[in-house]
Structure 1
Amino acid sequence: MQLYTPIEIEQLQENEDLPYFIQILDWVKNFLGRPHPHLGRPGAVCPFVPHSLRSNNIRLAVIRTKDLYPEQIENIVKRYRDIFLEMDVKEHELKLSKAFLLIFPDIHIEDATKSIDNIQQKLKPLFVESGLMIGEFHKRNQSPGLHNPDFRPLRSPVPLLAIRFMVEADLPFLQSPADPHLRIRYLEAYLKRFGQKFTDETRFKTAYQALALAKEEVETANLVIY
């Protein structure tokens, strides 16, 4: 369960996983941490990354999955969720910049869409209800950017899962599932997390409206069934 910060990675000498750490850290710095002409908005591809790098608040781990069943991999990711939550970060700004990147070099690119995406989809409700977000990254990721549907921000050179704290701006990711039951779980967790602490009144109203709509869809479906 070894995690390394960028500074610690720079000091590593003999480590079989060092090439993967270097490759992903370079991608974080030069893709996620910088503007992109196709992003569709100003700023870095991931707005949290520049501060996370400056504060040395990103931690990376390489997870070897050869001969492991999907359930075993899921349990490993759950343990990292527990570690993430147990790490005490008192400063609000540092808390928001904290992130784990779990790198899976044994997952072949041809299998990443199935393996990484399935793990993310299965565990996301647990993470969201813990006040966290979990994102899936790999070369075949087809998820579009929020501001440019032709941009693919979740493509990484090695398959990985990213863990960070939920923020207000995550609302579009939580109201997007087609399944209204899942939307209800996500939106209730979102509203519970931020409660009366919303800084954006419009976002607060949008979340409540989306929750009401999801509940209405479930009620309508139940009436049709019966």
Structure 2
Amino acid sequence: MTDRLPSADTLRGRRSGIEPVSVFDEIRPDEHPRTGELRRWAVEFLCRPHEDLGRTGPVCPFAAPSIGRGLFWAVFVEGDIDEDRMREIADDMAELFADLPPQSGSDAALKALVVVFPDVTDFEVVDRVQGDRKSGFVTDGLMLGQFYPGCTVSGLRNSEFRALDAPLPMLAVRHMVGSDFPFLTSDREWILAYLKKFAATVPSMVRGHIADRIVVS
């Protein structure tokens, strides 16, 4: 069995009061009744290949290592959450993510934090909050993603693949990685944040991608 890293002391969002827990460490008697659904989606969808993905390997290359090290953190927030409340939660996610263990070393790159909104049915709120807060996350070297049932965001290599279609509405944050560049090309500040983080180690494929976008006037 893989050794687990130490659990965090209780961390609480200063705006929203959210308290992340590592949902693959153990089954807790007080956990939300849909936690099992979250676990199944993570293991059976994120950690496995998909015929429509457009490449080999699992849908999310980082999910299995995150789960295996006990670094897949989650919070369930019940009720019909409005946009202002969800923004507060997103802002707390950024702060809490930095404080979750480990804060350094190779395992720090494997952390993931998911906030699930099981009672939200207006998924446009999730889209708006993700769009509104993404720049702040990217500036800090993080990626903020939105997931919900029927999400139509296209996959990177197959426009018909819906990687963000999930059984539960949620926001998710993880560290930015080198292969994230194609998700950041629509905004100059995002590209600058990417280059600041990866300037010394930009993959050759991405260097070509950047070069293709240089226009000589």
Q: Do the structures match in fold with TM over 0.5?
A: yes
Q: Mark the runs of 5 or more structure 2 residues left unpaired by the alignment.
A: 1-17
Given candidates 118, 140, 145, the residue that maps to 2:155 is 145
- Please, which of 165, 178, 192 is the counterpart of residue 175 of structure 2? 165
- The Cα shift of 1:208 comes to 6.0
Could you list the runs of 5+ residues in structure 1 that have no partner in the other structure? 178-182, 217-226
Q: Partner letter of residue 131 of structure 1?
A: G
Question: What's the CA shift for 1:206?
Answer: 2.7
Letter in 2 for 1:195: A
Matched with 2:75 is: 61
1:186 is the counterpart of 2:190 = yes
Match of residue 83, structure 1, among 96, 100, 125: 96
What is residue 39 of structure 2 aligned with on the other side? 25
Hey, what's the Cα distance between the residues in 1 that align with 2:84 and 2:165? 24
Cα RMSD, aligned residues only: 2.0
Secondary structure (helix, strand or coil) at the match of 2:70 reads coil
Equivalence for 1:12: 28
1:38 and 2:55 aligned: no
Greater helix share, structure number: 1
**Aligned to 1:39, what secondary structure does the other structure show?**
coil
Contact 1:191 1:207 survives alignment (8 Å): no
- The answer (yes or no) to whether the contact 1:187–1:207 under 8 Å persists in 2 is no
Q: Do 2:137 and 2:144's aligned partners in 1 also have CA atoms closer than 8 Å?
A: yes
Give per-residue Cα distances to partners, 1:1-57, cap 9 Å, x unaligned. 22121334x431134x2x221111110000011111111111111111111111111
For residue 7 of structure 1, give the secondary structure of its aligned residue in structure 2. Answer: coil
The alignment covers a number of residue pairs equal to 199
Contact 2:24-2:39 at 8 Å conserved across structures: no
Give the partner amino acid of 2:118: P
| Distance (Å, rounded) in 2 between the aligned partners of 1:202 and 1:147 | 14
Whole-angstrom CA distance in 1 between matches of 2:208 and 2:51: 32
CA contact 1:60–1:101 (8 Å) conserved in 2: yes
| SS in structure 2 at match of 1:11 | coil
Q: TM-score, normalised by structure 2?
A: 0.84
Q: Secondary structure at the match of 1:204?
A: helix
What's the CA shift for 1:65? 4.5
Partners of 1:41 and 1:132 in 2: how far apart? Answer: 24
Structure 2 residue aligned with 1:119: 129
CA contact (8 A) 2:24 2:72 kept: no
Task: Look up the match of 2:111.
Answer: 98
Q: Distance in 2 between matches of 1:148 and 1:118?
A: 24
The percentage of counterpart residues that share the same residue type is: 29
Contact persistence 1:129–1:186 (CA under 8 A): yes
- Name the TM-score, length of structure 1 as normaliser: 0.81
Could you tell me which amino acid in structure 2 is paired with residue 5 of structure 1?
Answer: S
Q: Which amino acid aligns with 1:159?
A: P
Structure (1 or 2) with the larger CA radius of gyration: 1
